Amino acid sequence: MALITLGLSHHSAPLEARERLAFTDADLAGALERLRALPGVEEAAILSTCNRTEILTVATPEHEGRLVEWWRRERQVPAGALEPHLFVLRDQSSVLHSLRVAAGLDSMVLGEPQILGQMKQAYAKAQAVQSLGPVLSRLFQHTFAVAKTVRSRTQIGAHPVSIAYAAVQLAQHIFADLGSQTALLIGAGETVQLLARHLKTRGVGRIIVANRSLEKAQQLAASLHGYAIGLNDLSMHLAEADLVISGTASRGYMLTRELVANAIGRRRRKPMLMIDLAVPRDFDPAIAKLEDIYLYSLDDLRAVIAENLKVREAAAQQAEALVADYARDFERWLESRDAGATIRRLRLRARESRDEVLAKARRKLANGESAEAVMAFVADTLANKLLHAPSERLRNSSVVEQAMLLDAAHKLFDLPEEE
């Protein structure tokens, strides 16, 4: 058996191919059951996200072609649609890859933490349908522990490298206490929605959402326990805002110098942080000349992100070294399970049983029992001792484990098929 990973990711496949070959949450349970039922597959798990789909198996190497064919059939794609994007990793390479993925070292955004949560979900799904065994269970647990260690011992995830997160981080630097601040968000697109969630998570005191479509503003505001307004009401509420973030597709300025100067006057010169994420810009650049205004553009944030990426890249070198060490730890565990080590332990246990039975046989002979009776005792007792543990394990195992053990027992003891 080998540890085999078949996969594709943003490194090897365009978005269209990733979409066609991915598994939805609704697909996973049935797909895992069918995958586990393939001849030669003993353990299975599937990780499927917008940026990658990976099939992890403990399987016989000669059945790799069946795995590829199974994936193609499951996603109903024609021959040749999968292979150009596919990578196949075995044993040590598969272990190292899983650890790198969990640590965020293989992600589109270096060091992003979401992939670890997605791997935990993949583990839970496989557990639910009992498609895991000792190797993949151990690998997932090892992977989670290593990812946690990498994040605690390096700066791989400490510096924001997304626009939304960098904007919120900037707000936290400017304001000592976000809980006492009011945020005005202009627009309701994806970036603004993500920003809103970050702000809510960090406990911002109040959120006002302004949008051309009042209905969309109300939908976003409702999810944040905030307040919705139309764009025509911006002038009425601008003075309430300590933090103003905009990301619309407007062709003209949403806020002019005059409008902001008026709001600052009403705020009695209380400072205001303004972040313009729009292209073209939503805020008149002349606003930056006003006192008590801190205005940042998309280019300003990109400069921060570029600097943070340099820090992450330096941290990634430390993380790669850690991951390589922990991958070797898992490889040593795999090696400890190899046939040679297991055979040595089997022989040792058999010798211990033999010696114990022989000692009892000698005592019986010394007590005058017949050689024939003692030979029968030795044969029966030794057979029972050697078969007791496997027999008990077979009786007490779960249905799935029992099926695997029975198959192994037939192979190990070369048992004839029942007629």
Listing DSSP states for 183-252 in one string gives: EEEE--SHHHHHHHHHHHHTT-SEEEEEESSHHHHHHHHHHHT-EEEEGGGHHHHGGG-SEEEE----SS
Under DSSP, the state recorded for 418 is P
Rounded CA-CA distance 243/77 in Å is 49
The pLDDT, as a whole number, for residue 400 is 67
The pLDDT, as a whole number, for residue 136 is 94
Which of 19, 33, 37, 50 is catalytic? The answer is: 50
Q: Is 50 a catalytic residue?
A: yes
Rounded CA-CA distance 196/190 in Å is 10
Over residues 205-224, the pLDDT tens digits come to 999 999 999 999 999 999 99
The pLDDT, as a whole number, for residue 231 is 93
Q: Which residues of the chain have pLDDT under 70?
A: 159-161, 337-339, 341, 400, 418-419
Task: Classify domain 2-153 at the CATH superfamily level.
Answer: Glutamyl-tRNA reductase, N-terminal domain (3.30.460.30)
Sign of the alpha-carbon dihedral angle for 395, 397, 403, 404: negative
The pLDDT, as a whole number, for residue 338 is 65
The pLDDT, as a whole number, for residue 85 is 92
The pLDDT, as a whole number, for residue 222 is 94
Under DSSP, the state recorded for 81 is S
Under DSSP, the state recorded for 255 is B
User: Residue 123 is encoded by which pair of tokens?
Assistant: 């583990």
Overall pTM surpassing 0.95 (yes/no):
no
The number of CA neighbours under 13 Å toward the Cβ of 153 is 14
What b/e readout covers 103-131, taking b as 16+ CB neighbours within 10 angstroms? bbbbbebbbbeebbebbeebbebbeebeb
The pLDDT, as a whole number, for residue 240 is 95
Rounded CA-CA distance 213/236 in Å is 17
The pLDDT, as a whole number, for residue 94 is 94
The pLDDT, as a whole number, for residue 397 is 82
Q: Which CATH architecture has domain 163-305?
A: 3-Layer(aba) Sandwich (3.40)
> What is the domain partition of the chain in residue ranges?
2-153, 163-305, 339-397
Give the CA-trace dihedral at 172, 174, 177, 182, to 10 degrees: -90
